[in-house]
Structure 1
Amino acid sequence: MIITSLLDTDLYKFTMMQVVLHHFPAASVEYRFRCRTPNIDLVPYIDEIRDEVRKLCQLRFNDGELDYLRRLRFLKGDFIDFLGLFHLNEKNISISPSKKGNGEIDIEIDGPWLHTILFEVPVLAIVNEVYFRNTQQQPDYRAGRERLTDKMALLGAKPEFADCKIADYGTRRRFSKQWHEEILLTLKDGLREQFAGTSNVYYAMKHGLTPLGTMAHEYLQACQALGPRLRDSQIYGFEMWAKEYRGDLGIALSDVYGMQAFLRDFDMYFCKLFDGARHDSGDPFDWGERLLKHYEANRCDPRTKVLVFSDALDIPKVLQLYERFRGRCRLAFGVGTNLTNDLGYQPLQIVIKMVRCNGQPVAKLSDSPGKNMCDDKAYLAYLRQVFGITQLTDDEAECGK
């Protein structure tokens, strides 16, 4: 059994889920799976994936897990009580071969947002582990350990890197849960203060690590359907987040509509209210420079703000970003696939993204072509028009095909 705890997911799933419970309990959503890696045949593993998902849907939060969640200052008692009754329902997810007949599989998740939000991360972890345990039956863990040792050595190579800290963001694309846990324990023992924590709540609880995370793209995407006006959906999302957390969990995601649209909406009020922002697409150096200038223009000292980098990072890029921005702001780095799936095999670039909310299309307009996901080309074009985004992304050409 791959997933043995409903805590084996990213923290931001719980922080978003609490907002859903308190503000959008009637919202319904649709998610779709995509494998961005070409020429991957997942069809032979459908039965195994279905079996693991069936087991996932039998899990419940136990008393120890609920007690741990109660100790997180930003989670509220009624939400924890709700989790005590919660389980994932198998009727809300379907897994089948793609009609394209090209080896791809279709995973569709439909139902109440409150009851489906926890599917994404464990289902992606299941697909990864099922694929790799069938295609790499004798994993080269020695090579993986050598790579990890080299990464830790880079972080400790110079005294001036002592304050450069990394966190694990790699649950959804890990090689396996066994390897993920070994990685975390190695980083905890080897990096000490330079290891900031993990997005994985289960391993944070099990190994005394700091759980990390705030919001993901699906939250701001859903606000396209839930807010009063599409043009104000990003502002609405930030306001509802602040209403729920009252200044806690103050890292805003910046790339649902691209950086230009983010900066237009992230005015002086939000600059002062939120602790910082997270980068997840586009050029990270350009993003950082633009954000620091934006803080200065809005009378905020950038040195008090956190820039979180989390897009396809490896350790050399972490160090380059650290050298560029250290002393100019506070820094955080979330490293995913490069930590948890670097044994010498090509990782799967797989995602599950929200495509509809309350029957309406939703989408993101990433600063990186290829990271968007939408099944309605007309809506994507309309979204570009509403937010004044002129560039055409690769996904707009693919959307609706």
Structure 2
Amino acid sequence: MIINSLLDTDLYKFTMMQVVLHHFPAAHVEYRFRCRTPNVDLVPYIDEIRDEVRQLCNLRFKEEELDYLRRMRFIKSDFIDFLDLFHLNEKSIRIAPSPKNNGEIDIEIVGPWLHTILFEIPVLAIVNEVYFRNTQRKPEYEIGRERLRDKISLLATPPEYSDCKIADYGTRRRFSGQWHEEVVLTLKERLGAQFAGTSNVYYAMKHGLRPLGTMAHEYLQACQALGPRLRDSQIFGFEMWAKEYRGDLGIALSDVYGMKAFLRDFDMYFCKLFDGARHDSGDPFDWGERLIRHYEENRCDPRTKILVFSDALDVPRVLQLYERFRGRCQLAFGVGTNLTNDLGYQPLQIVIKMVRCNGQPVAKLSDSPGKNMCDDRAYLAYLRQVFGIEQPVGEI
């Protein structure tokens, strides 16, 4: 069994889920899976994936897991009561070969947002682990350990990087749960204070680490359908987040409509209200410079704000960003695939994205067009028009 706990997911799934419970309990959504890596045949493994998902749907939260969540200052008691009754419904997920007959598989998740939001991360972890345990039956763990040692040495040895910290963001694309846990434990042991924590709630609980995360793209995408007006959907999303958390969990996601649209909506009020912002597409150096300049223009000292970098990072890129921005702001780095799936094999670039909410198409228009995912070209064109995004943005 690949997933043994419903906590084996990212923290932001729970933080978003609590907002859904309190503000959007009737929202109905649709998610779809996509493998961006070409020439990968997943069809032979469909039965294994289905079996693992079936076992996932049999899981319930244990009392000690609920107690752990209950101790988080931003988790509310009624949400814990809801989780005590919660389970994933197998009827909400469909897994089948793609009609294209090209080795791709279709995974569709449809149902109430409140009851489907926890599918994404464990299902992606399942697909990864099923694929790699079939294609790499004798994993090169020693190669992975050597590469991990090299990354730790790069980060921990030079004294000038002593306050440069990284976090594990690698649950969804990990080689396996076993390897993920080994990586986390190695980072904890050898990096010490330079290891900031993990987005994985289960490993945070099990190993006494800090769980990290706020919001993901699906939250701001859903606001396209849930807010009063499409043009104000990003503002609406930030305001509802602030209403729920009252200043806690204050990292805003910046790339659902691109940086230009984000800065237009992220005015002085939000600059002062939120602790910082997270980068997840486009040039990170340009993003950081623009955000620092934006804070200065809005009478905020950038040195009091957190810039979180999390887009396809490796340790050399982390150090480059650290050197550029240290002393100018507070820094946080979330490293994913390069930590948890770097054993010498090509990682799968797989995603599960929300594509509809309440029957309406939803999408993101990030600064990296390859990350966009929407099956309604007319809606993408309308979204570009509404947010004043001039250049065409490709869909996948």
- Please tell me the TM-score bracket, short chain as reference: over 0.9
| Residue 11 (structure 1) shift | 0.1
Q: Which residue of 1 aligns with 2:336?
A: 336
1:224-373 equivalences in 2 (<5 Å): 224-373=224-373
Distance 1:394 1:323 in 2: 33
- Counterpart residue number, 1:222: 222
For 1:339 and 1:366, the matched residues in 2 are separated by 24
1:143 is aligned to: 143
Deviations 1:316-368 (A, max 9, x none): 00000000000000000000000000000000000000000000000000100
In structure 2, C-alpha distance between the alignment counterparts of 1:65 and 1:156, rounded to whole Å: 33
Alignment of 1:102-113 (within 5 A): 102-113=102-113
Please show how residues 111-122 of structure 1 align to structure 2 within 5 Å.
Answer: 111-122=111-122
User: Which residue is 1:391 aligned to?
Assistant: 391
Aligned residue number for residue 201 of structure 1: 201
Question: In 2, distance between residues paired with 1:211 and 1:81?
Answer: 21
State the Cα RMSD in Å.
0.4
Give the TM-score normalised by the residue count of structure 1.
0.98
Deviation for aligned residue 1:393: 2.1
Structure 1's consecutive aligned runs of 4 or more residues displaced over 4 angstroms after TM superposition are none
The whole-number CA distance in structure 2 between the counterparts of 1:50 and 1:102 is: 19
Deviations 1:125-151 (A, max 9, x none): 000000000000000000000000000
- Give CA deviations for 1:271-295 in whole Å, capped at 9, x if unaligned: 0000000000000000000000000
Write the distance in 1 (CA, Å) between the matches of 2:391 and 2:59: 44
Q: In the aligned structure 1, how far is the partner of 2:394 from the partner of 2:129?
A: 29
- Per the TM alignment, residue 394 of structure 1 is displaced from its structure 2 partner at its CA by 2.5
Matched residue count: 396
The CA deviation string for residues 62-102 of structure 1, in whole angstroms up to 9 with x for no partner, is 10000000001000000001000000000000000000000
SS in 1 for 2:142: helix
Q: Deviations over 1:220-251 (max 9, x none)?
A: 00000000000000000000000000000000
Amino acid aligned to 1:307? L
- 2:14 is aligned to 14
- Describe the SS at the equivalent of 1:96: strand
Counterpart residue identity of residue 286, structure 2: D
Residue matched to 2:155? 155
The corresponding residue for 1:189 is 189
1:171 match: secondary structure: coil
Structure 2 unaligned residues grouped into runs of 5+: none
SS at match of 2:133: helix
Structure 1: 5+ residue runs without aligned partners? none
Q: Please state how far the C-alpha of 1:154 moved relative to its aligned partner.
A: 0.2
Deviation at 1:160, TM superposition (A): 1.1
Measured in 2, the distance between the counterparts of 1:281 and 1:234 equals 17
Distance 2:390 2:281 in 1: 17
**What letter matches 2:235 in structure 1?**
I
Write the distance in 2 (CA, Å) between the matches of 1:351 and 1:25.
Answer: 24
Q: Distance in 2 between matches of 1:279 and 1:124?
A: 22
**Counterpart AA for 2:83:** L
Please state how far the C-alpha of 1:369 moved relative to its aligned partner.
Answer: 1.6
Residues 47-68 of structure 1 show CA distances to partners (whole Å, capped at 9, x for unaligned) of 0000000000000001000000
Tell me the TM-score normalised to structure 2 length: 1.00
Task: Indicate the SS of the match to 1:299.
Answer: coil
1:171 aligns with 2:171: yes
